[in-house]
Each structure stands twice: as C-alpha cells, then as structure tokens.
A and B are shown apart, each in its own frame.
Chain A
Amino acid sequence: MKLNKIFKNTLLVLAACLVLSACATKKEVATDIQGQMQGDVYTGTDTVEYLADGVPDRVFFATNESILTTASRETLRAQAAWLRKNPNINVVLEGHADERGTREYNLALGERRANAAKDYLMTYGISSDRITVLSYGKERPVDSGSNPLAWSKNRRSVTVKAN
C-alpha cells in the first residue's frame, strides 16, 4: 500500500527533526490520534514483550517497508548487547506483515523484515550462526483489528529465544 501524502510529509518532517536532534518538537509533529504511531510505524508498547529488563523483543515497520527506524535500531542495539552478554542464547527472528497484502508477497516481506533486523544484529557483533530467520507473512497477527493501528502492530520482527 502506498503511503498517502500526509504520511509521507509527516515522515519527512520527522526525519528532518531527527537529523537535527530537535526532538523537542517531535511530539507536536507526528503523533496520530492515539499517540501510538509515527507516520504509519507503531511506536506504542501494547504488544511488546521484553527479553530482559530494557530489552524489547520487537521492532515495527512502515507499510511495505523493511527499513529500520531510529527506535528500531535502538531496540536492536539493546538486543545485541543482551545477546553478547548471553552467548549461549540463540534467537529466531520472526518476520510479519499486516493483512493488507497478498499472502505470498507478505511471506517474502516478512522474511525481508526479519533479515533487516538480522543484518543489524550482525553489525553489532552477533554471529549469524546464532540467528534463524522465520517469516510468517500475514499468518500470525497480534492484533485482529482491521484498522491502521492494528496493522502497524502487526508489521513487525520479533526476536524470540530459540533455546
């Protein structure tokens, strides 16, 4: 699904804001009615579980995208630090898509999202041997709603302990 113009502009403004580190204005710019999305990326914590204190288990994506947001990268760095401290733990990265796409494309998209997370963990020193990627496409939504907020929660990559 294409981002509509408002979302696109919002993202641009937001990106500019982040580049300038002018985060004081962040809240005014890009919060939706429920305050849980920026652009169409989920920023809430409703569905998030924790691998350890301060280590969220999942990152969220924009529609049809697999680019990691600033928040996602922060989450993944925390995961990488935790994985470095726990060298015996292996993980499965489960990639997911929302329901607004064809099933087969979504399987591929879920794989691409999980791989984006995997690549980031690897750049922070986690061996690819410890990471398995598993795409569920649109098969395992966490939120059964048919609305943009529910879809944003479902576009995710979740890091799950494999052992």
Chain B
Amino acid sequence: MTKKILILLFILIPINANALIEVDITRGNLNPLPLAVSPLSIDEESRKGFEKILKEENIGSEISNIVENNLRISGLFNPLDKKAFLQAPDIANLKPRFEDWNLIKAQALITGKVNYIDDKLRVEFRLWDVLAAKEMMALAFTTVPNNWRRVGHIISDKVYERLTGEKGYFDTRIIYVSEEGPKTQRIKKLAIMDQDGANNKFLTLGNELVLTPRFNPASQMVTYLSYFKNMPRVYLLDIETGTQEVVGDFPGMTFAPRFSPDGKKIIMSFAKDGKSDIYTMDLENRIVEKITNHPSIDTSPSYSPDGKYITFNSDRSGYQQIYVMKNDGSDVKRISFGNGLYGTPVWSPRGDLIAFTKLHKGKFYIGVMRTDGSGERLLTENYYQEAPSWSPNGRVLIFYRETKTNSKGEGFSAKLWSIDLTGYNERQIKTPTDASDPSWSSLLSN
C-alpha cells in the first residue's frame, strides 16, 4: 500500500481575495510574469541541523531554487536574477520594501522562512503582489526533512494556482522507460523521477523488455508491458513495495494498458489471431470484459475523466484513425478525418480535448482535437515523436522523440520532451539515459 507522506499545511493568514496580478494561461505566454523568488531565510542553528541530515549547505536557498526552476520551466513566469535583489531574505519575509522590488521590475515576490523544530522541517512562505503592496497568500508546512524537495514543489503549485487560477503540476512524478545500448538491441528499464528530473530511480533491472508504463491516477500504482519469460503481458506494479503481478490470464499478448480514472480497472488490448481488441479487467473482482469486437487492430485505449467514454485507435477504416465509444463498447464513432494517420489518443484530465500522434507525409506530429474531432491543432512536428501524456492540470503534454540515424545507422537517440497546450514552451526533459514512453502522475498532494 502507498506509504502516506505526511505534510501538514496551515493557512497563516486569510488569503486576500482582491489580488491584482493574474496570469492568463490560455494564450501562448510571450511575456512571462517577472517575479522574484527570495531565498527562504534560515537561522544558523536550523541551517546546521539540516546540513547534517540532508547534506545540503543551505536548505532555504535550495528550496527557493526548486520553486524558481519550476516557475521558470512553466514558461509563465520569469524569475529574476537573485543578484539584483536589494533586500535580505529574513527582512523581506517580515515586511518587503515594495519600492525595492518594484525597482527591479518584479511584479510578484515569494519570501519565506525555514526552521528545524523537533526533528521536523517547518517552512513558511508568502506570496506578495508588489504593485499593490499586498500579501496574496501565506502558508506553512511541517514535514520530515527528507521531504524538502516536495515542499519546494508544493510551494510552486500554490503560487501557480494563486496566480493562474488553475491547479499546478509540480508535486508530481514521471514514470518512463530508460533506454540504453544500440538501436537493434536496446536495453529498457522502468524508471521514475520527480517532474523536474530529480530523484531518478530505476524500477527494473533491464533483464526483460519493458514498455508503456502508466500511472494509476488514484494511487502510486503503475501498469506496464513486460516481456518477462518472452511473453508480452500487462503487469501491475506497486511502486512503494515493488510487488508486481500479471494482469489477467490471457492466452496471448496483452498490451497498451491504462487505468480507468478511478483506478479500479485496467483497460488494454489483447492480440489474438492477427486481430487486437480492447478489454477491461476489474482489479477488485478480476472480471474481464471484452469491449470491442472487430477483425481490425483496436488499441491505445484511454478513458474520459468521468469514465463514461473511451477513445482508442483502430485501422478498421483501412488505416489507423481515432475513435470514441461509450465505456461498454457501444456507439463507436470515428473522430479523426484529417489527412494522414492518427494514433495514441489520450483524453485530457479536463475532459475537453484528446491529444494524439499524427503521421502525415513522413512527419510525426503531436496535436489535440476536441472530443468530437473538431478543432484539430498540431502543436509540434518532428522526424519521430509520439505518445503524449497530460500533466494532471491538462496544460502540458509530455512525449518522446527519436532522432533519425545517419547513413551508417548511427546517431540514434530517444528523449523526453514537453510542450504547453498553447504550442509554446517546448523543452527537453533531462534524463540520465535515453528515455521514452513517459507517463505523468497525478498531484501527490491535493
């Protein structure tokens, strides 16, 4: 079972409802909001206490670095250079001199304080509206010191939420497939890391081929495809305990697994006699249901967030296209009608869009369309890229991209990338090895 990580959260002062700054998340943000993330102040005794346990020289600065980095990579904020700051962290946290922060063009300011109390990490932080000279938010957390990175992510989420009006996505993890070795003999392992690339950990040894890990939106369980004993089957893995089990008892390859939004079912494909159909298995009573029944290839299923619909791709029209049906398999409707092939549909956690991979004239695209297929918008074009996965707030897509090899077949690489729903802010996510098949977790704390 999931080990509960306890983070106590206090609201220090009631939030001022009439704050002035607001970040519009819906357009491509070409003018990120300038803001100052002051290092969290720390007294010498606490600093030494944390240095001893965490091997970090100044945990106050480190936490503020996490916040600054998160806000920067969101593309919505422009954290200003700390060298320009005129006010010391401890004094700024008590009462910022707004003129000073105004002078360096900061529109928002984050200050805070870290304490080492009874072997616990206590962090308080405040968000200030510089122009209005008002406090927008003040919160405090108490947790075990080892959770310090998560505290940085939670602060980032709170700031993001306060300034954009939408939930953040920083206190999250990415599960993916780590890749090494030549293209013809790739060694693949499951790996997991924090959303910002920290705390990377390998979950399998690479003895067998593993593919397409996906998080359970309701817990820290993962479903994935493993070639254990050369039998490609869908497995279930508990990340906390490391226990794994095969899902269902199918006489052939099961693949393309995903959880239902409530985490109680796995939906996947089962291939037999040259046709692939979609099945679900209830994880509590183990009942298996056949959802599609067609001589074509039906795969890559994904539930709508309310669980009532399923999107998938099928080549029943002759070529790979995207379809939507009710969760019992009825009312199958094709929704992709543009030029080219469409695959890997994934329903947005907000419910309004489906992200997909498109192949047209030798190029691969990541795009989104409405759930009836209208409003197709291509976000990025490349030699090869596929398999988008949504951030839990439905604002960012993570996917993987492979490079073209040269005439000698050299130069292959696979990397994780992310892009905003707006089509802006495309960036590579650093991983210790090559990487593919990313899946974004839900927010760890709500």
Interface residues of A (CB under 8 A from B): 1-2, 64, 66, 99-105, 107-109, 111-112, 115-116, 119, 133-136, 139-147, 150
Besides the known contacts A140-B184, A144-B182, A144-B405, 4 further A-B residue pairs in the complex with CB atoms under 8 A apart: A101-B320, A101-B341, A104-B256, A111-B274
A6 to B275, CA, bound (A): 29
Residue of B186, B271, B357, B362 touching A108 (CB-CB under 8 A): B271
Chain A residues, CB < 8 A from B436: 103
Complex CA gap A23/B188 in Å reads 46
A142 to B343, CA, bound (A): 25
Contact A112 B344 (CB under 8 A): no
Residues of A within 8 A of B319 (CB): 2, 64
CB closest chain-B residue, reference A113: B274
- The 5 A-B pairs at the shortest CB distance, nearest first, are namely A115-B274, A144-B409, A144-B183, A102-B343, A108-B276
| Complex CA–CA separation, A142 to B182 (angstroms) | 11
Contact with A along B352-375 (1 / 0, CB 8 A): 000001010010000000000000
Task: Tell whether, in the assembled complex, residue B275 and residue A102 are in contact, meaning their CB atoms are under 8 Å apart.
Answer: no
Please determine whether B297 and A150 come into contact, CB atoms closer than 8 angstroms: no
Q: Which of B155-196 contact A (CB under 8 A)?
A: 182-186
B308 interface residue (CB < 8 Å to A): no
Q: Which residues of B line the A interface, CB within 8 A?
A: 182-186, 209, 211-212, 225, 230, 232, 252-253, 255-256, 269, 271, 273-276, 297, 299-300, 313, 315, 319-320, 341, 343-344, 357, 359, 362, 383-384, 386-387, 402, 404-405, 407, 409-410, 412, 436-437
Q: Are B297 and A112 within 8 A (Cβ)?
A: yes
Beta-carbon nearest neighbor of B268 in chain A: A104
On whether the beta carbons of A108 and B297 are closer than 8 Å, the reply is yes
Q: Is the CB of A104 within 8 A of B253?
A: no
Question: For residue A147, which residue of chain B has the nearest CB?
Answer: B407
Closest residue on chain B to residue A150 by CB atoms: B409
Q: Residue A103 contacts which of B341, B383, B387, B405 (CB distance < 8 angstroms)?
A: B387
Cβ-defined contact, A105 with B300, below 8 A: yes
B182 and A100 within 8 A (CB): no
The residue that B412 contacts in the complex, of A2, A142, A144, with Cβ under 8 A, is A144
Q: Which of A2, A108, A112 contacts B269 (CB 8 A)?
A: A108
